[in-house]
Amino acid sequence: MKVDKDIITKIISSDKRAIAKALTLVENDDEGSEKLLKELYKHTGRTSKIGITGPPGAGKSTLTNCLVKLMSDKGYKIGVIAVDPTSPFTGGALLGDRIRMQEVGLLENVFIRSMATRGSLGGLSKNIVEACEVLDASGKDFIIIETVGVGQSELDIAQTTDTTIVVLVPESGDSVQAMKAGLMEIADIFVLNKSDRQGADGVVSTIKNIIHLKPPSKDGWIIDVLKTVGSQNEGIEELFNEIIKHKDHLEKSSYLTIKRKEHLSKKIKELVNNKLEINFWDDTKIRNLNERLEDIALKNKDPYSYVEEITK
């Protein structure tokens, strides 16, 4: 299938309708999506990707909303991908973060898209990287990915973005220690949202103690803990400044190039795995599997020997 050059031109010139059409193609793995991504790839690499994650109820959407508004006021072009849990009935995004961000979604230099996780355990949709490439090619200065916030399986976001922000609340106090093997390991910036609540200072101290116990980061970045009150728009300017500080640090230390090569390596391996899986399970192998299932279920044969046999 040949790619319409018109849609490429429109995406590069930041046409919202063309971007939306491209994202639908990519998200659904529709015919022509791969060719579209091939054409767009040479126009990517200029945007800064920011991941915002944390437990449910931490106020990630409110914080994202405030951050996008501030960035827009400063003249930046922003793409937002709000990754929501999947509806078991429709396969679509369940919570609809886009609805909660209607105000900033109407701004000319902002594009917001809700995407469903579609069963991905890491809190990110399978096609999130490809969606970022579309937004990147459209000339966005920043892409913000706000995740479901499913807990310790959020490592996906750290392997996709340049800057990872972990959002916690004062009520997280008792569980911060338990989180440190997961969420606590991936943060470039910690944000204690709703910090006007009781116990906020104690949680900040706890997080800082955990940071001190961690081995130094490979790139030499010193992690900070910021206090915000998203509902009152407090601490957002400081958060934005910290994001810029981290971006500058990555560029000056040359670690941005290293980080992006690591992300690219992961992407290529996933593309190969997907391609092999699709090509492997042809009609003959599926029929063979169905024929052999009874034997395996009755323990006459084991699944390991069967896999060894069909993958020789």
The per-residue pLDDT string of the chain (312 residues; one tens digit each, 9 = 90 and over) reads 556 789 999 999 999 999 999 999 998 888 889 999 999 999 999 999 999 988 888 889 899 999 999 999 999 999 999 887 544 444 444 444 455 566 777 788 999 998 876 544 444 556 888 999 999 999 999 999 998 665 444 677 888 899 999 999 998 765 665 565 566 778 899 999 999 999 899 989 988 988 888 777 888 899 999 999 999 999 999 999 999 999 999 999 999 999 999 999 988 998 899 889 989 999 999 999 999 999 999 999 999 999 999 998
Q: What is the 3-state secondary structure (H, E, C) of 188-229?
A: CEEEECCCCCCCHHHHHHHHHHHHHHCCCCCCCCCCEEEECE
CA distance 31 to 19: 16
Would 258 be classed as within a structural domain? no
Would 18 be classed as within a structural domain? no
Residue 296: which domain range?
Answer: 269-310
Whether residues 274 and 236 share a domain: the answer is: no
Which residue from 158, 135, 59, 50 is spatially nearest to 101, judged by alpha carbons? 59
Q: What pLDDT was estimated at residue 83?
A: 83
Whether residues 297 and 231 share a domain: the answer is: no
Q: What pLDDT was estimated at residue 173?
A: 60
Count structural domains, the chain. Answer: 2
Would 20 be classed as within a structural domain? no
Would 260 be classed as within a structural domain? no
Distance of alpha carbon 107 from the chain centroid: 22
Whether residues 55 and 103 share a domain: the answer is: yes
Whether residues 217 and 303 share a domain: the answer is: no
Give the pLDDT confidence of 90-121 residue by residue, as tens digits. Answer: 444 444 445 556 677 778 899 999 887 654 44
Q: What pLDDT was estimated at residue 182?
A: 62
Exposure pattern of 39-69 as b/e (b: 16+ CB <10 Å)?
bbeebeeebbbbbbbbbeebbbbbbbbbbbb
Whether residues 199 and 124 share a domain: the answer is: yes
Whether residues 237 and 277 share a domain: the answer is: no
Whether residues 273 and 141 share a domain: the answer is: no
Would 274 be classed as within a structural domain? yes
Whether residues 89 and 193 share a domain: the answer is: yes
Whether residues 161 and 296 share a domain: the answer is: no
What's the CATH number where 208 sits?
3.40.50.300
Whether residues 201 and 275 share a domain: the answer is: no
Q: What pLDDT was estimated at residue 180?
A: 53
Would 22 be classed as within a structural domain? no
Would 306 be classed as within a structural domain? yes
Whether residues 160 and 286 share a domain: the answer is: no
Q: What pLDDT was estimated at residue 111?
A: 95
Q: What pLDDT was estimated at residue 68?
A: 95
CA distance 44 to 239: 26
Taking a C-beta distance cutoff of 8 angstroms, is the pair 64, 80 a contact?
A: yes
Determine the length of the chain: 312
Whether residues 294 and 145 share a domain: the answer is: no
Would 61 be classed as within a structural domain? yes
Which residue from 43, 48, 109 is spatially nearest to 76, judged by alpha carbons? 109
Distance of alpha carbon 307 from the chain centroid: 33
